[in-house]
Structure 1
């Protein structure tokens, strides 16, 4: 098997450029990631935000039958899909 020095030089140049461009792309991505990173989604809202759901009074719901609660929750599940 004959190994040409030109071919070896070409392959080594290709490999070196490949590694350099890969490192350059990695550095570019590591620079851009913080710019597109989403905000912390569980932070406390500020401004004109309002609380949508409050704590329900359990005393008013004690009189309901357990089957009625289950039915209501099941209908809510089907309605909202959650």
Structure 2
């Protein structure tokens, strides 16, 4: 079996360069995503701001299909 050092070194260099570029691109993508992402919507409000949420009311007990369909379209459940 012929073992070519030149061929193996070029393969190793290719794998190393590919890995380095992969890390650079993924790091750049993460940085870009953090830079353009909006403010975190679930953070604690500052100042006089209040974070308010509404619990969904209970589903209707009636077995009427129209009521159930209306409930589904209104609340998405």
TM-score, normalised relative to structure 1? 0.49
Aligned-residue offset at 1:17: 1.0
Q: Relative contact order: is structure 1 or structure 2 higher (C-alpha 8 Å, sep ≥ 6)?
A: 2
C-alpha RMSD of the superposition: 3.0
Aligned-residue offset at 1:37: 2.8
Q: Which stretches in structure 1 are left out of the alignment for 5+ residues?
A: 45-50, 54-68
Please show how residues 44-63 of structure 1 align to structure 2 within 5 Å. none
Aligned-residue offset at 1:36: 3.6
More helix by share: 1
Are 2:76 and 1:70 aligned? no
TM-score, normalised relative to structure 2? 0.52
How many pairs align?
59
In our comparison, the structure showing a higher alpha carbon Rg is 1
Q: Which stretches in structure 2 are left out of the alignment for 5+ residues?
A: 46-51, 55-59
